[in-house]
Structure formats: C-alpha cells, structure tokens
C-alpha cells in the first residue's frame, strides 16, 4: 500500500537508520524517490554498485570524500555527483555530512514505511526495484 495524498512531511518523523551511521528520510513516487541522508562522523560506505538504480546527490552540509569508478573528490555544500547505474562507488565522511539524493527507479530497500513514504499512481510501483 501507499498513501493517497501527494502531500506529506518529514517534520516530526524520526529518521530511519538505513545502515549503521546512515539516517534517512525518504519519499517516492512511481519513477523516482528522494532521500535526505545524514552520515555520522567517521562513516564509510564500502565500494558497491546499484545494478538498476541511478543516484544523483547534492551535498547540503559537511563533507564527504567519494570515489566513482577511478575518480575521487571531496564534496562540500553545493557540490553534486551523478552515479549512473552499475558504476562502482564508495564514500567516507570524516566529520559527517548531510545530502539529498534522488534515486531512479525507486529502490524499495530505501523506503522506510511504504504507507507513509510512497505515493503510487496507476502503475502501482511496477517499476520499483529491490535494490
């Protein structure tokens, strides 16, 4: 199931600990979702790829060092990165950071509560992926 209204809020909603040291708020529709992600200081995300999902990020505060394939850059507020599906990437944030990420198609493992965090249309989420 999903919620009926297109309007929602993250105000007053506890963040979801997606992985140890990674806290998110999320909202998604039929084709795309966005998350506000916060990494605790010292957080490392090991090298991995998303087989089906593209990830687009904009850093809001703090900094994160990110490697996509063989290119590494330290990102700060206002910086962006696009990780096309299938590309290997890894992240490390020494002091912590917060960013917004858009993911498409919607990876269901990023949805804390489908009844609150998904707004589905006539396709009913048919193109969503498990990871």
**What residues does each domain of the chain span?**
26-112
pLDDT at 23 over 90: yes
Q: Is 80 exceeded by the pLDDT of residue 1?
A: no
pLDDT at residue 3, as a whole number: 83
Report pLDDT digits (tens) over 50-87.
Answer: 999 999 999 999 999 999 999 999 999 999 999 999 99
pTM of the predicted structure, to 2 decimals:
0.94
Position 4 scores a pLDDT of 87
CB 91 within 8 A of CB 7: no
Asked if residue 49 lies in contact with residue 67, where contact means CB atoms within 8 angstroms, the answer is no
Mean pLDDT of 6-23: 96
In the prediction, which pLDDT does 38 show? 98
CATH of domain 26-112: 2.60.120.10
* Cβ within 8 Å of residue 59, ≥6 positions away: 75, 76, 77, 78, 79, 80, 97, 98, 99
What is the C-alpha to C-alpha distance for residues 18 and 37, in angstroms, rounded to an integer? Answer: 9
């Amino acid at each position: 199931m999903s919620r009926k209204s297109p309007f929602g809020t993250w105000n007053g909603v506890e963040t979801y600990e997606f992985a140890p040291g990674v806290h998110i708020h999320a909202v998604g529709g039929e084709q795309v979702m966005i998350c506000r992600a916060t990494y605790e200081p010292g957080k490392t995300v090991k090298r991995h790829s998303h087989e089906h999902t593209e990830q687009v990020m904009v850093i809001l505060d703090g900094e994160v060092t990110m490697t996509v394939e063989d290119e590494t850059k330290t990102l700060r507020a206002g910086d962006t990165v696009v990780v096309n599906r299938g590309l290997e990437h890894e992240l490390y944030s020494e002091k912590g950071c917060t960013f917004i990420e858009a993911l498409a198609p919607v990876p269901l493992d990023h949805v804390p509560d489908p009844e609150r965090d998904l707004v589905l249309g006539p396709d009913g989420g048919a193109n969503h992926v498990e990871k």
